[in-house]
Amino acid sequence: MTDNNQNSISRRNFFQRSVPVATGVALAGMATRRAPGAVQGSDRIRVGIIGCGGRGTGAGQNCLAADKGVEIYAVMDLFKSQAEAAAKKFNVAGDRVFSGFDGYLQLLKTEVDLVILTTPPGFRPAQFKAAIDAGKHVFMEKPIAVDPVGCRQVIEASKLAKEKKLAVVAGTQRRHQASYIEVMKRIHGGDIGELVGGQCYWNGGGIWFRKKEGFTAGLSDLEWQCYNWYHWDWLSGDQVCEQHIHNIDVLNWCFNGPPKKIMAMGGRANRDADILPLVKDSPDFKRMGETNGHPNILGNIYDHTAAELEYANGARVMSMGRHAPNKSAQRVAERIVGTKGVSNCADTITGEKPYSFSGQQKEPMVQEHIDLIASIRSGSPLNEGIRVAESTLTAIGIRMSAYTGREFSWEWLLNSSKLDIWPKEIKPGPGIFPAVAIPGTTPLI
């Protein structure tokens, strides 16, 4: 680890630092052939990757495939070895390789025009705000936050991005997929009539669990949690945010906005049994202790949720997300029902005006970068920040309802919830181990 890891960043004190950081970047940009982010025509676009795991390096490759004028110019990861591996992969010079909890601030001082944000979701609000303050275009993976406070921060930063004419595109790639776009045009055009209901699913198998071994063996518990980030709500947002958001976003797309009410249920049926054999003989198992009788090392997220989402026209939609053993039935899909037909949202409509998509389409995870870069070059930057914040907040609302057993309105969730689960300070040291939520006991905040 580098010395940067000894610095601490809090959600609250970071924003006091963001203005001078941005000013420094602006001054640095005056010495280059163009200000960072000020791309015109066929200019080479310098890209920085913040978060160099599998999704970060994958997004970097997607971006390179989208436009021949793209260069991966700088990389950053919490872990030095990850950043160096990405630098080698993308042939990035050593003086543009950064690590540590505040390494992204150093990357934002370089001449990058566009940043790819692919650190764990809990980091996203502060890193997105910093990127916009620094005048960078942004591609950010979903979800974009883990609590309502973070979503509001992204919404405000997205408004600032619009004022500064900066592009913001999110990793909800179905929004850029030709077959989905064509079907959605027909749904919005009335081909299936008034929308009366629907379903969306992410019922998949289990996920990875990264033991404390290899290069992570000497890390503090909190650093290891960041490497094994999926298993804590304050880092991932839970499965409903991290994966099921794709399907939830499609339903919000169908209805041209988020639901007006949310009611959900869920639990942790098999996750402990899946993870326990991996860690029960580990010296960390007892050392990390328990929270409310539950071993901290196992994480605190649920492995299944189900929700009823009620939209503005009164239509009620079912959401179902699950991680279960691989022999369990799996389904990742959407379905919308109207008074005149039914659609899978992806490529087919049945009913009075049947339709089946038969056109050509690029890999959607490349297409989203094609659309992003084209918008930057044209001077008409896309800005998906508020939209993805609304879909993220819908997923967070499902988690909050499942964790607490409570029903609530969108208006309360967006404007009144004070839930803020991101740590006040994030630095190497003791782990942060929230209890597993118990409906009826866990408070609604």
Pairing of the two strands 114-117 and 137-140: parallel
- For residue 249, what are its two tokens? 């976003």
Pick from 1, 64, 21: nearest CA to 373: 64
Give yes or no for residue 18 having a pLDDT over 70: no
pLDDT at position 34 is 62
CA atoms within 13 A on the CB side of 332: 10
Give yes or no for residue 100 having a pLDDT over 50: yes
Average predicted confidence (pLDDT) for the chain: 92
pLDDT in tens, 26-85: 333 333 456 666 776 678 999 999 999 999 999 999 999 999 999 999 999 999 999 999
pLDDT in tens, 109-126: 999 999 999 999 999 999
- Work out the end-to-end distance of the chain between its first and last CA atoms, rounded to an integer number of angstroms: 36
Q: How many Å apart are CA 381 and CA 387, to the nearest integer?
A: 15
Q: How many Å apart are CA 114 and CA 279, to the nearest integer?
A: 40
CB contact set of 433 (below 8 Å; sequence gap of 6+): 232, 288, 289, 291, 296, 300
> 394, 307 in Cβ contact below 8 A?
no
Give the mean model confidence (pLDDT) for residues 221-234.
98
pLDDT at position 347 is 98
Give yes or no for residue 353 having a pLDDT over 80: yes
Give yes or no for residue 363 having a pLDDT over 90: yes
Domains observed in the chain:
3-173+368-391 (3.40.50.720), 175-361+395-415 (3.30.360.10)
Q: How many Å apart are CA 106 and CA 50, to the nearest integer?
A: 11
Confidence category of residue 328, pLDDT binned at 50, 70, 90: confident
> 146, 396 in Cβ contact below 8 A?
yes
pLDDT at position 21 is 35
Q: DSSP label at 44?
A: P
- In whole angstroms, what separates CA 297 from the centre of its chain? 23
Give yes or no for residue 393 having a pLDDT over 60: yes
pLDDT at position 20 is 35
Give yes or no for residue 4 having a pLDDT over 50: no
pLDDT in tens, 194-223: 999 999 999 999 899 999 998 889 999 999
3-state secondary structure of 418: coil
pLDDT in tens, 233-281: 999 999 999 999 999 999 999 999 999 999 999 999 999 999 999 999 9
> 37, 135 in Cβ contact below 8 A?
yes
